[in-house]
Amino acid sequence: MAGDVITAEPPQLFDRLEEQKSDSLLQLIALCDADPRPDKIDVGVGVYRDAAGATPILRAVKAAEKRLWETQETKAYLGSMGDARFTALIRPIVFGDTLAKDDRIVGLQTPGGCGALRLGADLVARANPRARIHVGQPTWPNHGPLIECSGVEMVSYPYYDAAQRIILFDRMMDALGRAEAGDLLLLHGCCHNPTGADLSLDQWREVAALVSRRGLIPYVDLAYQGLGNGLEADAAGTRLVVEAAEQALIAQSCDKNFGVYRERTGNLFVKAGSKRAAEVVFGNLLTLARTMWSMPPDHGAAIARIVLDTPELRADWNAELKEMCARIRTLRARLAGYDERLAYIDGQNGMFSILPLREEQVLALRREKGIYLANSGRFNVVGLSDDNVDRFAAAVVEKLDG
Ligand code: LMR
């Protein structure tokens, strides 16, 4: 009847949601923050720390921020591609001068490497709803959920054996030898996360040959360029596979190498079969970005652009990057020297390494000593300060089996 009060309960839409486990690395940040012990050791999430245990803003970044503040006249929209000059400056850093000129490669700014990975996966799913991507195990814990969200099927290939501390290269190549033409292949460009174990240049050459022989599409996650063996060396593998492949995707991040983590600063580059195809790809990337974040956040990209466009800031950034890299190397060598069971850490690259610990040993370190590393045994080498590295090494050695 007209005027009746409607009393029916609305269906409880959100009751249908399943409870979620939060991301293991983000959970670790919260757990460590909540621990009141003053001597706790945070080697969880991947942020650089200096000898005193701080994550300072780089000098070049601070100087660029000042310039930005003094000179920026508007914050009007830039469009879905973000800061095109920033992307153009990153391009030769990733690809080198020659490959950077390839007009089959297009790129745009994204919210960090994660945004780039997601945008690329969505592009792949849009282009081919039946696409498959081969992902090495173990990998960064967010790779799987992110790829799954895009609807791309994930197939695992063996990559690293934590107990033996070795890359399972033959098994990896065997598995990839069975991949089908048009399948994607997720590769860590450098500083493998979580293992720190990178392919040698010869192994990259073999992967490049396989990619070309079998018509695979490399999808390179390049989040740590400059933190392994320098900007050029860290991009060498990526360049080999991109050159060899007809088509490729590269998710690039400045979050770590500019230390602008929370600014979310990165790029997605895509190589297509022709210049025309690349233009169509670019149009699709713009429309996909528009539906997800519309436009990427500007601040981090504007800073990186100013750094790269200003010779003295660029030189200082290069020097700071080298300092960070050297500190990582020193810490690796120091840890390796404590016990021969840790010797493998020295031969690896970047922020991470996996300790051959069982989950209960990891949890015991957390409980007894306030040492926060991922349940997988992954730890952030450069999360250690000069003050706690000895204590960390002693506690780990005490827990190691035989
Ligand atoms: C990490 O693996 O610790 C970093 O990539 C941070 C993150 O977003 O997980």
pLDDT digits (tens, 9 = 90+) for 264-276: 999 999 999 999 9
User: Ligand 1 test: best mutation among 22, 24, 25, 253, most atoms within 8 Å of CB?
Assistant: 25
CA nearest to 270, candidates 241, 232, 242, 237: 242
Residue closest by Cα to atom 2 of ligand 1:
46
Using left for φ > 0, alpha for ψ between -120 and 50, and beta otherwise, residue 352 falls in: beta
Give me ligand 1 centre to Cα 223, in Å. Answer: 10
Distance (Å, rounded) from C-alpha 379 to C-alpha 261? 18
Ordered DSSP codes for 342-386 = GGGGGG--SSEEE----HHHHHHHHHHH-EE--TTSEEEGGG--T
Q: Using the predicted structure, report yes or no on whether residue 183 has a pLDDT greater than 70.
A: yes
Above 60 in pLDDT, residue 218?
Answer: yes
- 141 pLDDT tier (thresholds 50, 70, 90): very high
Cα–Cα distance measured from residue 395 to residue 402, given in angstroms and rounded to the nearest whole number: 15
Q: What single DSSP character describes residue 121?
A: H
Residue nearest to atom 4 of ligand 1 (CA): 46
Which amino acid, 225? Q
Q: How far is CA 99 from CA 63, 102, 105, 229, 242, in A?
A: 31, 5, 9, 21, 9
Instruction: Flag whether pLDDT at 6 surpasses 80.
Output: no
pLDDT reported for residue 10: 80
Average the pLDDT over 138-161 and give the result: 96
Is 221 among the catalytic positions?
yes
In three-state secondary structure terms, 253 is strand
Domains of the chain: 21-57+313-401 (3.90.1150.10), 77-309 (3.40.640.10)
Give the least confident one: 6-10, 115-119, 172-176, 336-340.
Answer: 6-10
Specify the pLDDT at position 276: 98
What is the structure's pLDDT at 4?
64
Ligand 1 atom with least separation from CA of 380? 3
Lowest mean pLDDT among 18-22, 113-117, 124-128, 143-147: 18-22
Please write the tens of the pLDDT for every residue from 111-123: 999 999 999 999 9
**In 162-186, which positions are buried (b, 16+ CB within 10 angstroms) versus exposed (e)?**
beebebbbeebeebbeebeeebbbb
If one residue of 45, 146, 260 were mutated to test the ligand 1 pocket, choosing by the most ligand atoms within 8 A of its CB, it would be: 45
Count CA atoms within 13 Å of residue 302 on its CB side.
19
Q: Is 131 an active-site residue?
A: no
CB-based contact 351:380 (threshold 8 Å): yes
Mean pLDDT of the chain: 96
Cα dihedral 355, 360, 362, 367 in deg (nearest 10): -160
User: Atom 5 of ligand 1 has which residue's CA nearest to it?
Assistant: 46
- Contact of 293 with 198, CB cutoff 8 Å: no
- Residues 36-42: contacts with CB within 8 Å, 24+ apart? 37/370, 39/370, 39/388, 39/391, 40/370, 40/371, 40/372, 41/369, 41/370, 41/371, 41/372, 41/383, 41/384, 41/388, 41/391, 41/392, 42/372, 42/380, 42/383
pLDDT given for residue 168 in this prediction:
98
Give the lowest-confidence range in 8-17, 185-194, 254-263, 315-324.
Answer: 8-17
Q: Which pLDDT does position 2 carry in this prediction?
A: 55
Q: How far is the CA of 280 from the centre of ligand 1 (A)?
A: 32
Catalytic residue among 60, 64, 179, 223: 223
- Tell me which residue of 91, 81, 143 sits closest to 288, measured CA to CA: 81
Residue 379, strand partner residues: 353
Q: Check if 386 is active-site.
A: no
Instruction: For 149, list phi and psi in degrees, rounded to 5.
Output: -60, -35
Q: Which residues line ligand 1 (CB under 6 A)?
A: 25, 45-46, 140, 142, 193
204 in active site: no
Instruction: Return the pLDDT at 3.
Output: 59
Checking if the pLDDT of 186 tops 60, the result is yes
Nearest-atom number in ligand 1 for the CA of 23 is: 9
Which of 140, 235, 255, 317 is an active site residue?
A: 140
Quote the ligand 1 centre to 24 CA distance (angstroms). Answer: 10
* Structure confidence by residue, pLDDT tens digits, 330-368: 999 999 999 999 999 999 999 999 999 999 999 999 999
3-state secondary structure of 251: strand
321-324: which pairs have CB atoms within 8 A and are 24 or more residues apart?
Answer: 321/226, 321/227, 321/231, 321/257, 322/230, 324/48, 324/226, 324/227, 324/382
